[in-house]
Structure 1
Amino acid sequence: MKLKLSVVDQSPVHGSHPAIEAPRLSVELAKACDQLGFYRYWVAEHHDSMHFANPCPEILVASIASVTENIRVGSGGVMLSHYSPLKVAEAFKMMATLYPNRIDLGVGRAPGGTGLTSHALAFPNQPNHGDLYSHQAVDLKGFIEGNIPTDNPFHKIKVLPDNTPQPELWMLGSSGGSAGLAGHLGYNIALARFIDPDNCHPSIFKEFDEEWQRAGHEKPANKMLAIACICAETEEEAKLRAGTAVYRKLAAQLGLREAFLTPSEVVDRYREFPSSYQAEFDHIMAGYTVGTSEQCWEEIEGLSKAFSCDEVGTVTVTHSYEDRLDSYQLLAKGL
């Protein structure tokens, strides 16, 4: 089966543009990726972030779907612990009605922000911190498919406008905590290797497959591996571009909060680092897929085989929007 290449967009606040333009740039990139032949375009959810500018994926999904033609569009993902499963189902079933057979609903357990934002999103109630996630996932699937069990107090609710159009359901995870749940409930699974490559192993997909089969779901399961990927004309240039995202991740580990640095600023910081910080920077870089189009595709195909999946999602964060667009244009040569 031909490998499908997709996009997971965190709507980064590029240093090359004002922050207010980040959502619009996601729409522009999605239009380009639609023309380039990418299979899916997912947008992420973040709150109170200086780096990522999309707190409401359902709005960006609808906007992107309205200006694209072929590419599937969805959330990667909605942070379900903050929301009513009914309201999420209503929003995505409406989009599935307006854009048939193109809408994906991916959900995740993570908060997508700080503890303070979790409290603000839950106010005047208290945040559940993911404790009710499995129950919310059950109800969400029931609302989407129109089959809430009769012993559920919500079983008489009809999700408008109709039972027929449905988004494709996905569950996100980074280290395996949700794999069994996704397989048991019948959600497709997207594994975020870009978050924690050290603890992202093929055994997670194996656990998912086993639970899927044990539950007796009739349809085949879909699996996506999401990776950090930066492509350029040369390996040297790709590593230079990737430095922005690598430094942001290292800075977060060190408790530093600052806007994206330019590639040259990252080089300067690296030279000033103690050897231990340089080693950690290099370790993070090694978990990314970085290089020319040919080098990236070789690694992508290797990861696809290692994880036994036929779809890879790519997360590309660069200082400039032009570098991010160029990275996807170069990757598209392998499609």
Structure 2
Amino acid sequence: MNIKLSVVDQSPVHGSHAKVEAPHLTIELAQLCDELGYHRYWVAEHHDSVHFANPCPEILVASIASVTQRIRVGSGGVMLSHYSPLKVAECFKMMATLHPDRIDLGVGRAPGGTGLTSHALAFPHEPHHGDLYAHQAQMLEGFVNGTLPAENPYSKIHVLPDSSPKPELWMLGSSGGSAGLAGQLGYNLALARFIDPDNCHPSIFQGYLEQWKKAGHAGEPNKMLAIACICAETQEEAKLRAGTAVYRKLAAQMGQREDFLTPSEVQDRYNAMSASDQAFYNHILSGYTVGTPDQCWQEIEQLATAFDCDEIATVTVTHNHHDRMDSYRLLAKHL
């Protein structure tokens, strides 16, 4: 299988740099991945986060596309429940006009932040907590592709600047909840295994394809599997670097919130944990792809085969920005 390797970047606030530099580091990494031959570069959306520094993916997508040459650039994703489908369509169609055949529009159902931020984003209205997501996704597809039925009052709207340049439409999911909807509406599907590897199974793609065919869409859709991955020269070093991301996930599930810890701080915390918490930490780590380039690629190929998917996106979170750049350089040697 000829595997395309892509990137989902959460714009982590690295402890090795000032917090204000995080968006600039995302752009720096995107330029490197463009040079290294990665297929796509997606940026995520988070609000009121001490760990991730991108609340407005459309701005970073435009910035990255303007300083790269060939890599596809997109959102992974826009948290659609907060926004007007028309405005999202206008933003991404404008970017597709400025950067033809390079812009992806990925959308997700999750809020990307706390309940408080959802209320603030919806103000002066009340948040709908994703209850209207299916309707929003349908309208978004209609605005992007010009397919709103004539009886829809919004069908008379022309989404400028022109009807032809379009972003590639994707829907994000982690455990299958959105797969059927993506198939029905004709979206490509990206599975975020890095969020919930325990409940991310190949059957999700199978169900998605069934709905795609049932809806009568032509051709074959694109599928992407997004995984957490840390690559280093040795397996020991990779596991050490991965500790920052693993502990963050452990702490989040325990309701704790603090800046990223260094690998050595994580090891100190790990040694002081109870046996049950250590087991929980090890379980989270087991859902990551961690090791040398050969070890990581072996697992990437296994996952691609298991999920019948020829595109794998990697999510790499480290305390040190250099370690993250190093991980992507090492993985690219097998491209």
- Give the TM-score, by structure 1 length: 1.00
CA distance, structure 2, for counterparts of residue 108 and residue 54 of structure 1: 15
**Shift of residue 246, structure 1, vs aligned partner:** 0.2
Aligned counterpart, 2:174: 174
Aligned counterpart, 1:31: 31
Matching residue's letter, 1:164 = S
CA distance, structure 1, for counterparts of residue 85 and residue 323 of structure 2: 37
CA distance, structure 1, for counterparts of residue 19 and residue 112 of structure 2: 18
Aligned counterpart, 1:82: 82
After TM superposition, list the pairs within 5 Å mapping 1:36-115 onto structure 2: 36-115=36-115
Matching residue's letter, 1:19 = K
Matching residue's letter, 1:317 = V
Over 6 Å off, 4+ runs:
none
Aligned counterpart, 1:313: 313
Aligned counterpart, 2:9: 9
Matching residue's letter, 2:45 = E
Aligned counterpart, 2:190: 190
Aligned counterpart, 1:325: 325
CA distance, structure 2, for counterparts of residue 213 and residue 229 of structure 1: 32
CA distance, structure 2, for counterparts of residue 272 and residue 5 of structure 1: 37
Unaligned runs of 5+ in 1: none
Unaligned runs of 5+ in 2: none
Kindly indicate whether residue 210 of structure 2 is the aligned counterpart of residue 207 of structure 1. Answer: no
What SS does structure 1 have at the residue aligned with 2:27? helix
What SS does structure 1 have at the residue aligned with 2:333? helix
CA distance, structure 2, for counterparts of residue 134 and residue 160 of structure 1: 24
Deviations 1:3-40 (A, max 9, x none): 10000000000000011000000000000000000000
CA distance, structure 1, for counterparts of residue 139 and residue 176 of structure 2: 22
Matching residue's letter, 2:64 = I
Aligned counterpart, 1:294: 294
Aligned counterpart, 1:133: 133
CA distance, structure 2, for counterparts of residue 152 and residue 231 of structure 1: 50
Matching residue's letter, 2:329 = Q
CA distance, structure 1, for counterparts of residue 254 and residue 275 of structure 2: 15
CA distance, structure 2, for counterparts of residue 183 and residue 26 of structure 1: 31
Kindly indicate whether residue 55 of structure 2 is the aligned counterpart of residue 22 of structure 1. Answer: no
CA distance, structure 2, for counterparts of residue 121 and residue 253 of structure 1: 24
Identity of paired residues, percent? 76
Aligned counterpart, 1:237: 237
Aligned counterpart, 2:255: 255
CA distance, structure 1, for counterparts of residue 89 and residue 2 of structure 2: 31
**Shift of residue 147, structure 1, vs aligned partner:** 1.7
CA distance, structure 2, for counterparts of residue 17 and residue 102 of structure 1: 30
Aligned counterpart, 1:267: 267
Deviations 1:100-135 (A, max 9, x none): 000000000000000000000000011010000000
Matching residue's letter, 2:116 = L
Deviations 1:63-119 (A, max 9, x none): 000000010000000000000000000000000000000000000000000000000
CA distance, structure 1, for counterparts of residue 265 and residue 173 of structure 2: 32
**Shift of residue 216, structure 1, vs aligned partner:** 1.0
CA distance, structure 1, for counterparts of residue 161 and residue 215 of structure 2: 30
Matching residue's letter, 1:303 = L
Deviations 1:255-274 (A, max 9, x none): 11110000000000000000
CA distance, structure 1, for counterparts of residue 299 and residue 39 of structure 2: 19
Matching residue's letter, 1:296 = C
CA distance, structure 2, for counterparts of residue 284 and residue 134 of structure 1: 31
**Shift of residue 186, structure 1, vs aligned partner:** 0.2
Deviations 1:186-210 (A, max 9, x none): 0000000000000000000000000
Matching residue's letter, 1:292 = T
**Shift of residue 219, structure 1, vs aligned partner:** 2.7
Matching residue's letter, 1:38 = Y
CA distance, structure 2, for counterparts of residue 32 and residue 330 of structure 1: 12
What SS does structure 2 have at the residue aligned with 1:74? strand
CA distance, structure 2, for counterparts of residue 98 and residue 245 of structure 1: 35
After TM superposition, list the pairs within 5 Å mapping 1:138-149 onto structure 2: 138-149=138-149
